[in-house]
Chain A
């Protein structure tokens, strides 16, 4: 940052791009170091996230034990276990703990004003910080994830082909971007409401249920909405939430294939585009109505 700041102002498009990248890289490194300060607490928190999966595995085993059918909404018992484990991977990419509330807090306490006077893009800074957070998280979580997946390997179907693996990876990257820009936009509502904790909580509730984190969304196929021929699953498909948990898991399990897979990836990318624009508009309009007083 210091080196970048001491350089004379660059001229030319390429030089400006290079400077921008250097600033962004410095922000990423700072955020990585920040994340590693309380690494014990971080490791403990990461490992504990696997505990709810254990109860879900036992719950669905009991449910399958009590039903005569070997399949529920097209999922066998093994599929369900594999699905929950895969949604853990999806959520590792799309969940953004503390992002929206952090933005709202910095608006409320005025600390956001430093980003208004510095030549740093606030959304870019947040993105770098979040990538740093995720990199540390993956570094810590890879080993327990690998252990759990190896332990539960019998629940999974055979490893998908390269095309499916590519689509799965792409869906995860897009789910990260979608999760980031949705939460960042939510946090920007702080310019209008100051306190957004209740809105964030309501969003989390809806997101948790409609993203497929709680159960495979295919289970909603037979739940009627009251409109003839339209199920709850049909309504949920029109929302962006499923791309943050259900979709990557469904891709791996082969529940979405062929043209439907391509169409879903395009829709996911479109949702990312929509949320980037929404986030930028919220920032642009929010900073124009923002006022800060005092030192």
Chain B
């Protein structure tokens, strides 16, 4: 384990050195990434000029909703920084045979495939998320319970683990398909469902969709549970929700590991 941490730190150092070599580009990437966030926040502000809350009686008024958005920004920035750049490279690696070089290394292939490249500029969104959370918390109708504050980092980690598992499973699909340029798009569109409170998915179509995105692909647990714990009062169902999220994260990691290993066993080198 210590060996892997040391290697991860080496990767991180190398990526940081590369980013700092092209400082202007790094700053530009941070700015454009923040621009995208600012645009989304402007849209939410516009929505709140027409309504006091998202969904009648849901409790997602302005401050709690922005705590929700902040939570999503923090989780997504971690995934975007740590895992997405490497997973995206896998598509080309499979097509060109570059994956062979990874498989012959005396290290775990999943570790190398998912963590060898770190995009530090993606952390900019996470920092904005922390700032937004700091703005939202004092404005919440009820201050967060101390237990909720303790649980929040754990649930953030669970959200990251669920998204990581999803990324790994999508990346594994690349091995089967040979080419999967839509990987990033698919990930973006799928995680789009987690960008709003689960309560909006109601009615004859919303109910089944919510159940699907909670119990089958637990994408709705990623942001909803940590955001609810910090932004809304803890109720009797809170314990079940937290336990369910921890279980879902652990199960997602195990399943994605199995999917990746079985995909690797089907890999046929494309190189000569």
A225 to chain B, nearest CB (A): 14
Q: Decide if B185 touches A48 in the complex (CB within 8 Å).
A: yes
Stretch at the interface among A54-62, A107-115, A133-141, A181-189: A54-62
Looking across the interface, which residue of chain A has its beta carbon closest to that of B189? A51
> For residue A41, which residues in chain B have a CB less than 8 angstroms away from its CB?
177, 179-182
- How many interface residues does A have (CB within 8 Å)? 34
Q: Is there a chain B Cβ closer than 8 Å to A143's Cβ?
A: no
Q: Is there a chain A Cβ closer than 8 Å to B257's Cβ?
A: no
Q: A41-B181, A198-B28 are in contact. Are A208 and B58 (CB under 8 A)?
A: no
Q: Decide if A45 touches B53 in the complex (CB within 8 Å).
A: no
Size range of the chain B interface in the assembly: 35 or more
> For residue A66, which residues in chain B have a CB less than 8 angstroms away from its CB?
51-56, 58
> For residue A59, which residues in chain B have a CB less than 8 angstroms away from its CB?
47, 54, 196, 200
CA distance A73 to B47 in the complex (A): 11
Stretch at the interface among B38-46, B67-75, B227-235, B238-246: B38-46
B52 to chain A, nearest CB (A): 6
CA distance A201 to B32 in the complex (A): 7
Q: Decide if A63 touches B50 in the complex (CB within 8 Å).
A: yes
Interface residues of A in 35-69 (CB under 8 A from B): 38, 40-41, 44-45, 48-49, 51-52, 54-55, 58-59, 61-63, 65-67, 69
CA distance A208 to B29 in the complex (A): 18
B65 to chain A, nearest CB (A): 11
A212 to chain B, nearest CB (A): 12
Q: Decide if B36 touches A62 in the complex (CB within 8 Å).
A: no
Q: Decide if A65 touches B192 in the complex (CB within 8 Å).
A: no
Q: Decide if B200 touches A58 in the complex (CB within 8 Å).
A: yes
Q: Mask for B178-190, Cβ within 8 A of A = 1, else 0? A: 0111100110011
Q: Is there a chain B Cβ closer than 8 Å to A277's Cβ?
A: no
Interface residues of A in 224-283 (CB under 8 A from B): none
> For residue B32, which residues in chain A have a CB less than 8 angstroms away from its CB?
198, 201-202, 205
Q: Is there a chain B Cβ closer than 8 Å to A209's Cβ?
A: yes
Looking across the interface, which residue of chain A has its beta carbon closest to that of B199? A62
Q: Is there a chain B Cβ closer than 8 Å to A148's Cβ?
A: no
CA distance A39 to B200 in the complex (A): 35
> For residue A72, which residues in chain B have a CB less than 8 angstroms away from its CB?
50
B53 to chain A, nearest CB (A): 5
CA distance A132 to B241 in the complex (A): 50
Looking across the interface, which residue of chain B has its beta carbon closest to that of A73? B50
Q: Decide if A38 touches B58 in the complex (CB within 8 Å).
A: no
CA distance A65 to B179 in the complex (A): 43
Looking across the interface, which residue of chain B has its beta carbon closest to that of A219? B46
> For residue B43, which residues in chain A have a CB less than 8 angstroms away from its CB?
209, 214-215
CA distance A142 to B32 in the complex (A): 34
Q: Decide if A62 touches B200 in the complex (CB within 8 Å).
A: yes
> For residue A15, which residues in chain B have a CB less than 8 angstroms away from its CB?
none
> For residue A49, which residues in chain B have a CB less than 8 angstroms away from its CB?
189
> For residue A21, which residues in chain B have a CB less than 8 angstroms away from its CB?
none
| A51 CB contact (under 8 Å) in B36, B49, B190, B201 | B190
Looking across the interface, which residue of chain B has its beta carbon closest to that of A41? B181
B227 to chain A, nearest CB (A): 16
A97 to chain B, nearest CB (A): 10
Interface residues of A in 190-206 (CB under 8 A from B): 198, 201-202, 205
CA distance A222 to B46 in the complex (A): 10
CA distance A48 to B187 in the complex (A): 10
Looking across the interface, which residue of chain B has its beta carbon closest to that of A46? B182
Q: Decide if B46 touches A62 in the complex (CB within 8 Å).
A: no
Q: Decide if B58 touches A55 in the complex (CB within 8 Å).
A: no
A211 to chain B, nearest CB (A): 12
CA distance A215 to B206 in the complex (A): 21
CA distance A219 to B46 in the complex (A): 8
| B186 CB contact (under 8 Å) in A44, A208, A220 | A44
Q: Decide if A55 touches B196 in the complex (CB within 8 Å).
A: yes
Q: Chain A interface (Cβ within 8 Å of chain B)?
A: 38, 40-41, 44-45, 48-49, 51-52, 54-55, 58-59, 61-63, 65-67, 69, 72-73, 198, 201-202, 205, 208-209, 214-215, 219-220, 222-223
Top 4 nearest A-B pairs by Cβ distance? A62-B55, A51-B189, A62-B200, A66-B56
Give 19 pairs: A residue, B residue, CB < 8 Å, sorted on A.
A38-B181, A41-B177, A41-B180, A44-B186, A51-B189, A51-B193, A52-B192, A62-B199, A63-B47, A65-B55, A65-B56, A67-B50, A67-B52, A69-B50, A215-B43, A219-B50, A220-B46, A222-B49, A223-B49
Q: Chain B interface (Cβ within 8 Å of chain A)?
A: 28-29, 32, 35-36, 39, 42-43, 46-47, 49-56, 58, 177, 179-182, 185-186, 189-190, 192-193, 195-196, 199-203, 206, 209
